[in-house]
């Protein structure tokens, strides 16, 4: 778990006597929600005698959990995020079969005499049938089962699922803690990439790893041949457009995309282009001709 989320874990600890059946860990991408949810799961499964020491990291339960084979823990993720045995054409969503298989887990008794935990990540990557199947479990929660849902798009969850969960918000951390953590990771230009990541440290780390490519795209955006680059291009255009809009409003740059302050004029055109680029980023998940698509979004940029 990342150091900036310790206060959130502490606040969870303070309320642990009234444990909900389902917790929705939500917040922007790249703030460490998954690691926090994993720590909460480990905390709940830890068998250390003294509560203050949980998770201890050394008991059998902790060791099984950390090795990924605790018998009372289930992790539901799209195939594309699986660590081993990834199928040939991995699915990007949590399938209904995965949710159905949960029944076997939640309705048998616990192996260790404690709680059983189900972690769903990302919980919004579920189609309606899978979500409905999950909803049934949430409506009549089996005793001793805790659901941990992790999501950066809680708005895409069924409202009926959201309403069954207690929300645990994970915000963007204070800039100072983010920068000191990034420095500890050996990141160069940490301020720039943290700004580009909208303050999310784990995103900043990813961007810094691609620094040369991203700096190139930002300096001179051009059509791309392959689909993996397309998302990077659409994101760069989106963030540049937002910075242009801020600039036209006389506000400072937010994403440090490199434009000069006060140079852009047509705030509304830039804003609506930024929204279009948000939609384009989602479209890049689908098979399409990268060259045509990138040429098209580049041509649509406002001129001033
Ligand atoms: Zn332990």
Q: How far apart are the first and last CA of the chain?
A: 44
Q: Residue 169 has what pLDDT? A: 96
Separation of CA 106 and ligand 1 centre (Å): 22
Q: Residue 184 has what pLDDT? A: 96
- What are 256-282's pLDDT values in tens digits? 998 666 678 899 999 999 999 999 998
User: Tokens representing 100?
Assistant: 């159905």
DSSP string, 63-79: HHHHHT--TTEEEE--G
Q: Is 125 exposed, middle or buried (0-12, 13-18, 19+ CB in 10 A)?
A: buried
Task: Give per-residue burial for 242-274: e unless 16+ CB within 10 Å, then b.
Answer: bbbbbbbeeeebebbbebeeeebeebebbbebb
Residues of the chain with pLDDT under 70: 259-262
Sheet holding 116-120, edge to edge: 73-76, 116-120, 145-151, 22-26, 166-169
Strand partners, 166: 23
Separation of CA 50 and ligand 1 centre (Å): 10
Q: Residue 233 has what pLDDT? A: 96
Q: Residue 272 has what pLDDT? A: 96
Q: Residue 273 has what pLDDT? A: 97
Residues 6+ apart with CB under 8 A from 225: 290, 291
Neighbours of ion ligand 1 (CB under 5 A): 46, 48, 55-56, 59, 62
Separation of CA 125 and ligand 1 centre (Å): 31
Q: Residue 262 has what pLDDT? A: 63
Q: For residue 59, which of 68, 46, 73 has the smallest C-alpha distance?
A: 46
Under DSSP, is residue 213 helix (H, G, I), strand (E, B) or coil? helix
Separation of CA 52 and ligand 1 centre (Å): 11
Separation of CA 54 and ligand 1 centre (Å): 6
Q: Residue 261 has what pLDDT? A: 61
């Amino acid at each position: 778990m990342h150091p900036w989320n310790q206060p959130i874990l502490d606040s969870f600890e303070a309320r642990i006597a009234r444990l909900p059946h389902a917790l929705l860990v939500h917040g922007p991408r790249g703030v460490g929600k998954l690691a926090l949810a994993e720590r909460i799961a480990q905390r709940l499964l830890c068998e250390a005698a003294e509560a203050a020491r949980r998770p201890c990291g050394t008991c059998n339960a902790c060791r099984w959990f950390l090795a990924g084979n605790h018998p009372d823990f289930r992790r539901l993720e799209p195939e594309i995020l699986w660590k081993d045995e990834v199928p040939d054409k991995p699915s990007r969503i949590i399938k209904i079969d995965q949710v159905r298989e949960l029944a076997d887990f939640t309705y048998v008794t616990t192996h260790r005499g404690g709680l059983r935990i189900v972690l769903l990540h990302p919980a919004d990557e579920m189609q309606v049938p899978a979500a409905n199947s999950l909803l049934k479990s949430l409506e009549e929660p089996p005793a001793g089962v805790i659901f941990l849902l992790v999501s950066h798009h809680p708005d895409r969850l069924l409202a009926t699922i959201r309403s069954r969960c207690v929300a645990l918000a994970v915000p963007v951390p204070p800039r100072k803690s983010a920068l000191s953590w990034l420095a500890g990771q050996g990141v160069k230009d940490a301020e720039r990439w943290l700004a580009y990541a909208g303050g999310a440290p784990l995103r900043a780390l990813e961007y810094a790893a691609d620094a040369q490519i991203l700096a190139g795209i930002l300096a001179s955006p051009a059509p791309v041949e392959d689909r993996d680059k397309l998302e990077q291009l659409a994101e760069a255009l989106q963030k540049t457009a937002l910075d242009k809009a801020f600039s036209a409003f006389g506000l400072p740059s937010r994403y440090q995309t490199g434009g000069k302050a006060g140079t852009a004029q047509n705030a509304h055109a830039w804003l609506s282009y930024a929204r279009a680029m948000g939609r384009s980023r989602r479209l890049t998940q689908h098979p399409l001709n990268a060259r045509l698509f990138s040429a098209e979004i580049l041509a649509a940029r406002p001129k001033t």
